[in-house]
Structure 1
């Protein structure tokens, strides 16, 4: 290998294994007179005028900059006068470019101000991309740089890969060397050279040797076609890739020529392509998965290609051989190459018809097993390769003897006038019969013509010729007869003779036993045939019959249309009648509505008058009320004058009585004298304030024993409950007014909400009561929560065993077990009306149950983790739930709809409780805090801090004035002035 020393500009020769690092030049040849040759460099003539010196010196300068000592240039490193050296260089050139440290692609037609990335750039249209040799020079080197005519750097094939890929059609992974060159199919690699040219035709084949990894001797003068065929022969020796046959694919923009059109008279072409341009539309064809049959070699010998292929015969009779390759982006299709069976020879001998295109076929069409076939690759000949042509010979002299001349044939393409024959072609599309009409005319101008129907019937692999003789008028078109032949064929069939009045003619056929050749023989008869068919008259009869049929069909169609119209008229009449009735109903309804409107207007007027009268009455009542207030104020002043001294136990503050019932006010203040006076006057003992407190509850809560005694003696209900279901005895015990408690006990009051029992739940799976009355057993897991129904008849318990159990509070008998939760039940709570039970569970849900039937009413979902606590507001309209997900959710107890989500805690919410007046909701959390929320708006009112560990339980006092909290820090904290805290 010779290299140019970039400092001395001398040629130096190296053995292959001792070659130093070198750069290599890729370029397009200019005029031969301007290029530097091997002899020029040898003799030191490197400063020759023209582009050659610019390429030589520029390459050397760039190599010096790249710290390389040598460069290789094809024009001056190869002695082209030595054919052996030239052949060796061409076979080695791909390897030389591949081993180069860097390749300089010099684009002499790209100016210095060109921008390659612009679509209109000179770079995109450079001659370099259209030359054959530069294809391997683009692919072989790992590093390739582009330079303009002034040796200005344009970019490399990595940075310009998108543009270069669009110009060349080469995928990026091949261009950049990510994938090996051999991973591309033969068809793809051929397509890259499809639009390229070389100065010598043979070089278009020789420049591809390295791309396919083959070698062969150079034979300049053999022609481009022959060189390309030799190249393909070498490729076939090294690959099983049958995409080498996937040439001739038609452009998607052009219509496919149906090879069936040439099936009868296909002209043999080569199975191999004659130039890379034949692969112009095969750039997307890739090999499919290798099948066992595709492992068989592709072998050319004796002028034929031997290979295994599945064959597809289309509905049009075209035959395609299905290759093991297809479009990259359409795995459901493969390439089919057109084939035609040889007219003579073995059944597995085929040719590729000249002028027929390869076509994409569905992959399902390859279901047939591949079989071994031989495809001829001889030089193209114009000789017919198909036995489907039939030849009808007629002797002009024989017909002239009976005064007849052949004047027309249909189809006209079948008439070979020069050879005096009619050629018909059988179509392999399932058509059993092929027909040709021949028209013979007598020299008597008045006589009708003879028409001979030449017919070939296909039966299996044999053909049967027949002829039928008829006459027709001279002015009848033969094409018209051919178009309507089907209507008279049955009448004409089998008639071998006819008479035109002047000539009685019979026609016979003679067949050649070796070839599909039939001779038409005319014979004159002495008398006319018994049946003479005038095809024109028969066609007229047929036309009349068809016309009659058409008339009958039209009549039938008219009858159908008439009946259809009658039915539509009937339907429309019915719809019209219904519309009329509906209109009458609407009008009647409108009359009623108008009457109703007048009545409402009158009622509106009357109501307005009544409103006016009520307004007057209201004003009178307000006046009387004002008078009463004035009297009250006068009485208060008199009262103050009489009692305006310090009475330790009788400080009657009438100012606070303004908004209260007198009996309730007196009981709450402990004014026994006034209570007694009011009782004497018949005061109502059942009055309650807005919290449901009776006078007895108010007196018991404050410890006014004299008032309690007066009320009890008057028969007040000692077990009446407020809105929180608490009794007077409960409040007395809470306030530790023992004397009142004893008095109430003696009067029949009891200790708890049901005034009987206090219950407890335990991890020992039992439920027990204070002053143990009984132990309730049944749960199979720890009992996490118990709750009495407000009516004290039922006790509910929630357990780790996923169930809720309802017990008879008086007997301890199990009433029913409520099942549905998929995890432990952590909390149970009754609505204030005792009809509804809520349960919270570790399964993230709350369930609402009918407390009387045990039926599940609805499941409330929304929490993202376990539900630890549930609580009803005292009015039972709202249900609160606290969860491990750090939130409290408020639900509509009647519909189960989520009303709002309260967020603010940074830890799990262990306990929730409503104040008895239902205005405030308290929540205790793992984050050590208690939070107070506005129950109606969900707004956070205040955060109570003080516990040093999780708050596990919160509870309001019955009068809403105190909140208790229990914590894991072993303390209970009491928070006062809750009313103030919540505002």
Structure 2
């Protein structure tokens, strides 16, 4: 382990962590990057060379040349009596794959053995109370990062630090607030409840709304949470998360690992329409566990007692080319579909069943099936005429019909466990799924104004600015952002607002879920607004449509049948003169998924017209 001396900025190598008393920094990396190990090493070399030539420099000259974050972190730690500090951005040589892999596999231990962890929240000011709803603290991007999950849980003491390097509070003192923000139990946060006693599904759910820059880090950042180690292979993509689940399955006897994605709330009624995902046992991302926090692991004995089926031995698992081989209690629903009972329940003591499907002659079962009402499955001669619903998980209360338990038997099964790793073609045109970024990525989406569009408006004499109500536009938020494009030319101002509509027309079911408002204030209002902030416009952007035509979903198609929407708004002149026609085109460049927000492009054209 390489530490930073807080007095001098020199590196200190340590082989035995028990022999050193150190603090550790947790932070969200800046978008422009951080000062690296080699950057700091170059500063140290320059300072050493200057001193060797006789130049008199202060003892902390290295820190004076370091970034403000490194300098202030060292100063804060030193003020609290710590001579050594670890910072991930500059204490790991990331050009060495061996050193990087060792650091990633050791990071949970390093944070856990630190005397204290300073969590630096660069988007939270010292003056604001962290506790109220919608506080800067609650909305800090630090809570959305994948790596900061283990950095929050592993240390016994975490002190939250503001952008001005003032103490905001501790993990213990703010544990109720942190639990509300993260979903992590207070008892886990303050180390009263051992982490290993929490089910795999619940631990996964803590990471469901967090994101990482590299896809592989979705898995690597969770290794310490589950007490597993594995080689790091950047370039493997989402295969890393598959390997993580294989390691968890090998070391942790917890079938809640399979309890991900949407669940059916009862064994009998048909629930709302749900589309099929990869028909596999393993998830592709922590995002798949967003609804799995309520699942607990139970023993196979407890599962048998809850279901009223005979006791069966604990399962073992073997990875084979055909899938995951194991023994599970099954009840056949049809020649090709069965329920596999999991040793897993929710807070109402309801056991979870996994729907398995196998085509005739196939070696392995797939997960999930399009089924009709299960109450009719065994008895109704018209069963084949009832509507189908895609089901992956099924809740099985003890009041389930006797045929479920009475027909159960232990069977050896092969289950397809790995999703297809080939890229899925992007759907275009009418085939685009009717899902919104609100459903897909925690309310985050991004609108951009192409450079060519800005240049064209500039040639017409307009000054152009694009603002958003949120600073981090590609990270999850508790509320959707709103945007304003402001065009200024002389005494003319045009404001174009895009954002969610309070009427929620369509229920956020379309990718065109946004609404717009175009306005041009009077000359007097223009003069006032030119020198004031547009924040008030952002806060109320598209707050209500008042006109159904404001919804992007109601706009017309673009020429040529492309995947976009088009509208024209004509603004009448407030004085004698020509009116303005504002043409807007919104294209969906990426519809969003569980890992990345939706991306839109906005094209604007303004022309003078005669009414």
Cα contact 1:303–1:377 (8 A) shared by 2: no
Query: Cα RMSD (Å) of the superposition?
Result: 3.1
Q: Name which of 273, 282, 296 aligns with 1:286.
A: 296
CA distance in 2, matches of 1:76, 1:188: 33
Give the secondary structure class of the aligned counterpart of 1:323. Answer: strand
Cα contact 1:38–1:75 (8 A) shared by 2: yes
**Residue number in structure 2 paired with 1:582:** none
**Residue number in structure 2 paired with 1:149:** 163
The answer to whether structure 1 residue 358 and structure 2 residue 408 are counterparts is no
Residues 112, 339 of structure 1: CA spacing in aligned structure 2 closer, same or farther, 3 A cutoff?
same
Aligned-pair distance for 1:313? 5.0
Residues 245-280 of structure 1 deviation map (CA, whole Å, 9 limit, x = unaligned): 111134979x99779999xxx997221111111111
Cα contact 1:240–1:298 (8 A) shared by 2: no
The answer to whether structure 1 residue 307 and structure 2 residue 346 are counterparts is no
CA distance in 2, matches of 1:201, 1:179: 30
**Residue number in structure 1 paired with 2:205:** 191
Aligned-pair distance for 1:343? 1.9
Matches within 5 A, 1:326-365: 326-328=345-347, 330-331=348-349, 333-345=350-362, 349-353=364-368, 356-363=391-398, 365=400
Matches within 5 A, 1:43-122: 43-44=42-43, 53-122=67-136
CA distance in 2, matches of 1:289, 1:142: 30
Cα contact 1:293–1:308 (8 A) shared by 2: no
Aligned-pair distance for 1:304? 1.2
Aligned length: 370
Residues 260, 160 of structure 1: CA spacing in aligned structure 2 closer, same or farther, 3 A cutoff?
closer
The answer to whether structure 1 residue 319 and structure 2 residue 360 are counterparts is no
**Residue number in structure 1 paired with 2:415:** 375
Aligned-pair distance for 1:87? 0.8
Give the secondary structure class of the aligned counterpart of 1:43. Answer: helix
CA distance in 1, matches of 2:282, 2:103: 27
Residues 859-905 of structure 1 deviation map (CA, whole Å, 9 limit, x = unaligned): xxxxxxxxxxxxxxxxxxxxxxxxxxxxxxxxxxxxxxxxxxxxxxx
**Residue number in structure 1 paired with 2:247:** 234
**Residue number in structure 2 paired with 1:128:** 142
Residues 268, 91 of structure 1: CA spacing in aligned structure 2 closer, same or farther, 3 A cutoff?
closer
Give the secondary structure class of the aligned counterpart of 1:112. Answer: coil
**Residue number in structure 1 paired with 2:260:** 247
Cα contact 1:258–1:318 (8 A) shared by 2: no
Cα contact 1:241–1:287 (8 A) shared by 2: yes
Cα contact 2:367–2:392 (8 A) shared by 1: no
Cα contact 2:336–2:359 (8 A) shared by 1: no
TM-score (norm 1): 0.36
Cα contact 1:259–1:338 (8 A) shared by 2: no
CA distance in 2, matches of 1:260, 1:118: 37
Cα contact 2:351–2:395 (8 A) shared by 1: yes
Q: Name which of 221, 224, 229 aligns with 1:210.
A: 224
**Residue number in structure 2 paired with 1:909:** none
Cα contact 1:91–1:209 (8 A) shared by 2: yes
Aligned-pair distance for 1:152? 1.3
Aligned-pair distance for 1:309? 2.1
Residues 363, 298 of structure 1: CA spacing in aligned structure 2 closer, same or farther, 3 A cutoff?
farther
Aligned-pair distance for 1:141? 0.4
Aligned-pair distance for 1:215? 1.1
Aligned-pair distance for 1:237? 1.2
Cα contact 1:36–1:48 (8 A) shared by 2: no
CA distance in 1, matches of 2:29, 2:144: 12
Residues 764-821 of structure 1 deviation map (CA, whole Å, 9 limit, x = unaligned): xxxxxxxxxxxxxxxxxxxxxxxxxxxxxxxxxxxxxxxxxxxxxxxxxxxxxxxxxx
**Residue number in structure 1 paired with 2:41:** 42
Residues 221, 261 of structure 1: CA spacing in aligned structure 2 closer, same or farther, 3 A cutoff?
closer
**Residue number in structure 1 paired with 2:7:** 7
Matches within 5 A, 1:760-909: none
Aligned-pair distance for 1:338? 1.9
CA distance in 2, matches of 1:316, 1:227: 35
**Residue number in structure 2 paired with 1:781:** none
Q: 5+ residue gaps in structure 1?
A: 383-983
CA distance in 1, matches of 2:163, 2:263: 38
TM-score (norm 2): 0.56
Aligned-pair distance for 1:364? 5.4
Give the secondary structure class of the aligned counterpart of 1:269. Answer: coil
Residues 363, 70 of structure 1: CA spacing in aligned structure 2 closer, same or farther, 3 A cutoff?
farther
CA distance in 2, matches of 1:344, 1:65: 70
Residues 53-94 of structure 1 deviation map (CA, whole Å, 9 limit, x = unaligned): 232122212222221210000011001111111111101101
**Residue number in structure 2 paired with 1:270:** 280
Matches within 5 A, 1:592-611: none
Cα contact 2:263–2:395 (8 A) shared by 1: no
Higher CA-based Rg: 1
Give the secondary structure class of the aligned counterpart of 1:117. Answer: coil
